[in-house]
Structure 1
Amino acid sequence: MIGIVNYGAGNIFSLTSALQRLNLDYGMINTEADLEKYSHIIIPGVGHAAAAMKKLEQTGLVNALKSLKKPVLGICVGMQLLTQHSEEGDVKLMNIFPLRTKLFDKQQNIKIPHMGWNNVEFKNNLLFEGVDNQTQFYFVHSYFIEYNPIFDIATANYGIRFSAAIQKDNFYALQFHPEKSGAAGERLLKNFSTIKQ
């Protein structure tokens, strides 16, 4: 059963709609005690990283989330919260991944935010099982996670090569929105739900 971290910074409706289409049971995590009820945890997120981190800290869930041994999936800003630092608000984040979240370079002559469908190239990973390489997923973001071959399981290009998905132990994260990416995105959510602890 999937638990969604409810800290007021996520587009919960799109995510819950996708989980309903997949017939996956889910519930909301509001307190540390709620974490025990679920086998898989999703940290959603839209908006500003510093504001999202502040909201997450106010829940008192940060240390509990960092110590989890069950599968955790961060989506979009939820992914960025798992990194060390974001240029958005110059804020320290959860530091599960020793990576930095940076603003796209306006000098690259690209539109910011990066919004729309983009090809994703991925490594062999349980999360992408049954998905064709170079499949397009839906992105909406102005900040990106710096590419790192240690944690990177998928990349995309938008003026620069950046991390579209990362993994460290039981922590997974996606910069794109699987819940808005059609059948391929739903396959990723289904795959996440089957990852063993």
Structure 2
Amino acid sequence: MKTVIIKYNAGNVQSVMYALDRIGAGYIYTDDVEEIRSADKVIFPGVGEASTTMNYLRKVGLDKVIPSLKQPVFGTCIGMQLMCRFSEENNTECMGIFDVDVKRFPAEAGMKVPHMGWNNISNYASPLTYGVPDNAYVYFVHSFAPPVCDYTVASCQYATSFSAMLHRDNFYAAQFHCEISGDVGQQIMENFLKI
């Protein structure tokens, strides 16, 4: 099986590589369009700012390639947000794979933004959460998130209820960092590779 991690202008890729190494999954880290198109599985991870990252994707043409993929694609953190229609972070037009807008967390008394640390997810409805215990804890670092919508397959509560995971056709996404979410994150990554 050929797994590709998309190489683009976003951080945190090394921890994704370590996570795949831990589960014994081989991978290629590339921005080569033909390598990406020929992969069995594609992972679109990252940490970054929406407008800068989308500008880079447009510059190298990946903004057109990613939505056209037919194999299973898994976006995490900024990868998930850029798969949505629009982000309030610098008013950024994104790829529109999920027809939902990414919103900034509301400023509420006692609630710190960014949402950072361990929080539980609930209302699972995804093949990625097979074998994951109810109300499992995963690790988040973000100030923006899509609200609960038609594509939501797991949710989380922080100031408001938001989409912790999304799914549409061959596209899967998680707002949290699977690669640093312990056994739960490892299970989700293993499930993705088995799709």
Asked if structure 2 preserves the Cα contact closer than 8 Å seen for 1:151 and 1:168, the reply is yes
Q: Give the 3-state SS of the residue equivalent to 2:99 in structure 1.
A: coil
Is 1:178 paired with 2:183? no
What is the CA deviation profile of residues 14-67 of structure 1, one whole-angstrom value per residue up to 9, with x for unaligned ones? 000000000001001212111134100011111211111111112212212111
SS in 2 for 1:98: strand
Q: Secondary structure at the match of 1:45?
A: coil
Q: Distance in 2 between matches of 1:162 and 1:139?
A: 12
Question: Hey, what's the Cα distance between the residues in 2 that align with 1:47 and 1:162?
Answer: 19
Whether 1:45 aligns to 2:72 is: no
Taking the aligned partners of 1:18 and 1:97, their CA distance within structure 2 comes to: 26
* TM-aligned CA deviation for residue 130 of structure 1: 0.7
How far, CA to CA, are the matches of 2:104 and 2:126 in structure 1?
27
Give 1:68-147 correspondences, 5 Å limit: 68-147=69-148
Deviations 1:113-157 (A, max 9, x none): 000000100323210011101000000000011111x21100000
Q: Give yes or no for contact 1:31–1:60 (8 Å, CA) kept in 2.
A: no
Query: For 2:123 and 2:129, how far apart are their aligned partners in 1?
Result: 8
- How many pairs are equivalent? 194
- String of CA shifts for 1:151-187, please: whole Å, max 9, x gaps: 1100000010000000000000000000010011011
C-alpha separation between the residues in 2 aligned to 1:193 and 1:61? 22
CA contact (8 A) 1:9 1:52 kept: yes
Partner Cα distance (2:119, 2:158) in 1:
8
- Tell me, in whole angstroms, the C-alpha distance in 1 between the residues paired with 2:20 and 2:187: 11
1:169 aligns with 2:169: yes
TM-score of the two chains, using structure 2 as the length reference: 0.96
1:34/1:140 CA distance change after superposition, 3 Å: same
1:27-66 correspondence to structure 2 within 5 Å: 27-66=28-67
Instruction: Give secondary structure in 2 for the equivalent of 1:10.
Output: coil
Q: Which amino acid aligns with 2:75?
A: G
Q: Distance in 1 between matches of 2:13 and 2:67?
A: 21
Which consecutive unaligned segments of at least 5 residues does structure 1 have?
A: none
Name the aligned partner's letter for residue 133 of structure 1: D
Give the root-mean-square deviation of aligned CA atoms.
1.1
Give me the whole-angstrom Cα distance separating, in 1, the residues matched to 2:4 and 2:11.
13
Instruction: Name the aligned partner's letter for residue 54 of structure 1.
Output: N
Corresponding residue for residue 190 of structure 1:
190
Q: Aligned residues: percent identity?
A: 39
Provide the C-alpha distance between the structure 2 equivalents of 1:151 and 1:157, rounded to a whole number of angstroms.
17
Structure 1 segments of 4 or more deviating over 4 A?
A: none
| 1:109 Cα offset (Å) | 3.5
Q: Distance in 2 between matches of 1:80 and 1:24?
A: 25
Given residue 174 of structure 1, which amino acid in structure 2 is its aligned partner? A
Contact 1:101 1:144 in 2 (8 A): yes
- For 2:183 and 2:177, how far apart are their aligned partners in 1? 12
- TM-score, structure 1 normalization: 0.95
CA distance in 1: counterparts of 2:140 and 2:47, whole angstroms: 11
